[in-house]
Amino acid sequence: MTVRASRWLIVLAAVCFGTTGTAQALGALGGAEASATSLGAARIVFGGALLAILAFAVALAERRRRSAAAGRDGEPDGAGGRDGERDSERDGDGDGDLDRDSVRGSGRVRSRPRGSSVALVILGAAGVAAYQPAFFTGTAQNGVAVGTLVALGSAPVLTGLLEWGWYRRPPGIRWACATFVAATGVAALSGLFSGGGGPVTVLGIAGSLGAAGSYAVYTLSTKLLLDRGWAPAAAMGATFGAAAVLMLPVLLASNPAWLAQPAGLATAAWLAIVATALAYTLFARGLRGLSASQVSTLTLVEPVTATALGVFVLHEDFTPATVVGVALLVAGLGILTMNRRAAGAPTGTLS
């Protein structure tokens, strides 16, 4: 898959993410009043279950395909063959896990402990589960404008720092410029420059930063799973399936009576199918061909989508700050995705 195709997959995923607020608002108009915590938990529980089922179906289909191929070649299923031997030699312990040197393309491959991928799944699931309550803590304490700005604006920065720490290489100047411009656009869309901000609390800032950190953790952990040879469906299914288990008690404790209403079921279905299962399937496939830092900046298309839906579907106000915010976000994404040669950068530089 080309880099351009990977970028478009991330943009499409971000568009799906951006429908969440509109789905919530339309559900409320239909009589399905639900707390943000309950909605967030339902999204992860049902969406995570769908991703886990999808991963199982894909794995089963792949197993049947391999069995059929082995039968045609005269090999018994599970014999391994030369391909299995090569895979075992490649990763040292046969578990398919590669170390950082192989991911960075140095050509040196050392075996990793068998539990490393399991740890990444657990870490990613914890990040997914922690994001929702942390984000809503930030918006509840400091308001939607400041809470959204801090969470969305700092997520690419924290992702870039985590990636830098793991791979021992900075994300690049172009990425930093693009992230700064796009984050300024988020600030404009949040209404911060037009008096949308108010007094802030330490707890609110901590919640928003916690949400950004949670996003960074599950994005990088998923990227590392993909770099270890995991299929996108398997990586998302394992991570979100585990997160669904973690969030089930939260959903049950959050008064989920709204799910019994037709509007509530429709909202939950949209959040699970489109805003989670479809979105993160696209997200994982795009993430396989890009760095985690690039992906985190590209997903800032989400507030642009949310703003457009708010204006054209919910008939919200369209202000000069909205125009400026969208323009800055588009400019930031343009900086990130423009052709390297057009930017005058050597083809070997990092971005």
Highest mean pLDDT among 16-25, 108-117, 142-151: 16-25
In a domain, residue 108? The reply is yes
pLDDT at 69 over 90: no
Q: Please state which of the ranges 94-108, 147-161, 220-234, 295-309 shows the lowest mean pLDDT.
A: 94-108
Q: Please state which of the ranges 30-44, 95-109, 152-166, 217-231 shows the lowest mean pLDDT.
A: 95-109
pLDDT at 312 over 70: yes
Give the burial string for 144-165 (b: 16+ CB within 10 Å, else e).
Answer: ebbbbbbbbbbbbbbbbbbbee
Which residue has better confidence, 91 or 333? 333
CA 238 to chain centre: 14
Mean pLDDT for the stretch of residues 3-9: 95
Whole-number percent of the chain with pLDDT over 70: 82
Give the pLDDT of residue 80.
44
Contacts by 98-105, CB closer than 8 A, 24 or more apart: 98/227, 98/228, 98/229, 100/166, 100/167, 100/168, 103/167, 103/224, 103/227, 104/167, 104/169
Whole-Å CA distances, 8 to 51, 176, 290, 333, 349? 21, 20, 11, 12, 22
- How far, in Å, CA of 122 to CA of 242, rounded? 7
In a domain, residue 228? The reply is yes
Tally of CB atoms within 10 A around 55: 23
What is the per-residue pLDDT across 168-212, written as a single tens digit (0 to 9) for each?
Answer: 888 889 999 999 999 898 888 877 666 655 567 889 889 999 999
Which residue has better confidence, 257 or 146? 257
Mean pLDDT for the stretch of residues 23-34: 86
Whole-number percent of the chain with pLDDT over 90: 51
In a domain, residue 91? The reply is no
Give the burial string for 123-133 (b: 16+ CB within 10 Å, else e).
Answer: bbbbbbbbbbb
Q: End-to-end CA distance of the chain, in Å?
A: 18
In a domain, residue 241? The reply is yes
In a domain, residue 139? The reply is yes
Q: How many domains does the chain have?
A: 1
Contacts by 21-29, CB closer than 8 A, 24 or more apart: 21/306, 21/309, 21/310, 22/306, 22/309, 22/310, 22/313, 22/314, 23/267, 23/270, 23/271, 23/275, 24/267, 25/314, 26/263, 26/267, 26/313, 26/314, 27/258, 27/263, 27/264, 27/266, 27/267, 29/263
Identify the CA nearest to 81 among candidates 64, 98, 69, 97.
69
| Residue entry with tokens 């509109």 | 22
- How far, in Å, CA of 136 to CA of 144, rounded? 9
In a domain, residue 318? The reply is yes
Identify the CA nearest to 294 among candidates 174, 125, 212.
174
Structural domain range at position 155: 3-76+96-343
pLDDT at 109 over 50: no
In a domain, residue 326? The reply is yes
Q: Please state which of the ranges 127-131, 133-137, 257-261, 293-297 shows the lowest mean pLDDT.
A: 133-137
In a domain, residue 83? The reply is no
Give the pLDDT of residue 131.
92
Query: With bands split at pLDDT 50, 70 and 90, how would you rate the model's confidence at 91?
Result: very low
